[in-house]
Chain A
Amino acid sequence: MIKAENISKYYRLGVLGSMTLKEDIKNWWNRKSFIENDPANFINNNSKDYIWALKNINFEVSHGEVLGFIGRNGAGKSTLLKIISRITLPTSGRILGKGRSASLLEVGTGFHGELTGRENIFLNGHILGMKRKEIEKKFDEIVDFSGVEQFLDTPVKRYSSGMYVRLAFAVAAHLDPEILIVDEVLAVGDAEFQRKCIGKMKEVSSQKGKTILFVSHNMQALRNLCHRAIVLNKGEIINMGDPETVIAGYLKSETTQYLQQEFSDKASAPGNEFIRIKKIELVPQYINDYDIIDIRTPLTMNFEFWYDMEEEDDLIVGVHLFDFNGDCIFDIASPNAKFKKGLIGGQCKIPGNFLNDGAYYMSIVFVKNITQRMYYFESCLSFDVEDYRENAGWYGKWLGYVRPDFPVVLRPKEI
């Protein structure tokens, strides 16, 4: 059970260690007067030197609740967890709590490369707050979970990075506090191991009376594990509530989608003497209630352009889809045809259950007589495809450019 009241935290900007004694004394004086006087005044005076990592954070977590924190990098999630973990102090406000808490801001904290796996299990376990008897009792379980049994008496510096992380997580997974604070540790390890970790998280969270606070960028995991979610932006809580709604709202605000471009004035529209773009848009046929493009959503691309070429010329319009690394996913084109000058419309349908989750952008190309590129409108649209899974037991990223929905079927074979 935790209650945060008006938590704020400022950090000094600039290079640490470049401070002089004089500055420090000045700061100390400022701080004294800041506490006595108005905090708002202080911010103005020092806005250049300080950044508010957190501003007036208030929330409560009740016994047995799983609370997730969402926000982009630098939103203050980690700072907040650090304050709750007593690693850094708030500048103002207070947190009240009940129950033994343990933090997992990193796996394998304090691991020593020269020591064996066995030694490190104890070392790391104690650092995380476990007692010797507790570790001894769970030792076999930890080793079993990690799967590095053969290498238990090998120094961990000889481990592969995968083994290292597995051992580290195995210790962490057997922590048994009343309040668990977890920061993005699920992002490590291979997919198979991630599945194991999330499974363990779920097992832990479903136990009665476990309070968990956690930060993750994995929306699927958040959706499935949390009872409630909080969105942080620039150090402030901007949304709080039911995870499904909160996450949807967050994704919508975060995506840099560029779904439509329209130009009413032909002269200034993108293009050249032959082609002028009038309108280009991507229309999703939303399946969920939150107006988010997920992997199931069919997309329709509509475009209109002014055509100004000779009538005997052949025209082909091609559509290119790229993922955000610039790899081309597909390159499709219309059959060649002849058109009169004037306004021409076109359409291209991308079915649902086709693209994998990720960020994409599209380009459109106009070709004359099969070979001559007349105009290339590059990155004219961009959109994000969110993941969607039903009854997911695994939250890792699916590989591949596409996520088709055709089945893999198993059946027993008579011998």
Chain B
Amino acid sequence: MDKNTEWEWEIKPEERWFSLNLRELLQYKDLLFRFVRRDILTSYQQTILGPVWVFLQPLLTTLVYFIIFTKIANISTDGIPPILFYLPGSIFWTYFSECLNGTMNTFINNAYIFRKVYFPRVIAPLSNILFHSFRLSIQLILFVIIYLFFMIARHNVIPSWWILILPVLILLTAAFALGAGLIISVFTARYRDLDNILQFVLRLFMFAAPVVYPVSIVPEKYKFLFWLNPLTSVIETCRAAFFSQHTVNIKYLSLAVLNVFIILLIGLVLFRKREIEIMDVV
């Protein structure tokens, strides 16, 4: 063979660090959207209520929160009508936890494809995130409708200009779930017990974010720790955007952005490094 052959690709025992290869990713964008489409088309197969569950699920959760935390535990909602207080928290939390759950089981859920065909593995978790984002947007529309109803009806619910930041909040939540999920996925593939522990941790983690209570009731000395969680910033900023009695804490929001960026970067690099090798043990 010609000595001057210019090889276009190389397969080696070790994946290189920092080779995200965006060009290759772009080539597979059709696959990404096809996966999303598949998930949307198949997610409510053989259910009676079908897509109605997209609405019903956050509404039911909100109802449960209202009964337990407002009626029974008597926790403050900072003067916001309870349904409007719980709904965004619940929607964002569900979004986060489902994105995380899907991402961290990437290898296990997709093993049947990963064993047979190569494509950039990150397509699978990305499609999972996009699928949940689709559901999130529908749920947010539901929230806006209820919100408008309250605004017109009476109540001092006044939006601020911060609502324009909503897409950033969604992006932040998605990136957080993706980053953390990618890191965990590398380990769950090998140590299946992790899943049991993680489900438990995830449930606890919900209470570490202001989903069912306002930040105002958190003791001062724990506040910084509390704000380290990017979800705190996301939910609080969302509330501040829709209810002007809150103010957006820009310092903490920037901290959240920084944290998420670091987690996502670690996740992407680790995942990329291990994505092929890991399939020998799944």
Contacts and interface: CB of A to CB of B under 8 A. Distances in A.
Nearest to A35: B13
A86 B1 CA distance: 23
A91 B13 CA distance: 5
Interface stretch (B34-42, B137-145, B165-173): B34-42
Given A1-B5, A89-B276, A112-B38, A97 B15 contact: no
Contact of B118 (A87, A90, A126): A87
Contacts of B118: 85-87, 103
Q: Nearest 9 pairs between A and B by C-beta?
A: A126-B31, A96-B7, A86-B118, A95-B11, A109-B116, A132-B30, A114-B42, A98-B8, A126-B34
30 contacts: A11-B280, A16-B281, A17-B281, A60-B1, A83-B11, A86-B11, A86-B118, A86-B276, A87-B114, A87-B116, A87-B118, A89-B277, A89-B280, A95-B11, A97-B9, A97-B10, A97-B11, A98-B7, A98-B8, A103-B117, A109-B112, A109-B113, A109-B117, A110-B117, A119-B38, A122-B34, A126-B31, A127-B119, A131-B27, A131-B30
Interface in B232-282: 276-277, 279-281
A17 B192 contact: yes
A43 to B, nearest CB: 16
B191 interface: yes
Contact of B11 (A17, A19, A89): A89
B41 A115 contact: yes
A337 B3 CA distance: 76
A99 interface: yes
Given A110-B113, A123-B34, 7 more contacts: A60-B1, A89-B13, A95-B10, A98-B8, A109-B116, A119-B41, A127-B119
Given A98-B7, A112-B38, A105 B117 contact: yes
Contacts, number: 109
Contacts of B117: 85, 87, 103, 105, 109-110, 127-129
Interface string B1-45: 100011111111111000000000001101100110110011001
A215 B48 CA distance: 47
Contacts of B5: 1, 98
Contacts of B223: none
A114 B45 contact: yes
A1 B41 CA distance: 40
A95 B11 CA distance: 5
B13 A90 contact: yes
Contacts of B277: 88-89
Interface of A: 1, 3, 11-12, 16-17, 19, 21, 24, 60, 62, 83-99, 103, 105-106, 109-110, 112, 114-115, 119, 122-123, 126-129, 131-132
B10 to A, nearest CB: 5
A311 B116 CA distance: 71
B1 A92 contact: no
Given A86-B276, A88-B276, A119-B41, A96 B9 contact: yes
Contacts of A62: 1
Contacts of B281: 16-17
Contacts of B113: 109-110, 127
Given A91-B13, A99-B8, A112 B42 contact: yes
Contacts of B6: 98
A11 B115 CA distance: 15
A97 B6 CA distance: 9
Contacts of B190: 19, 24
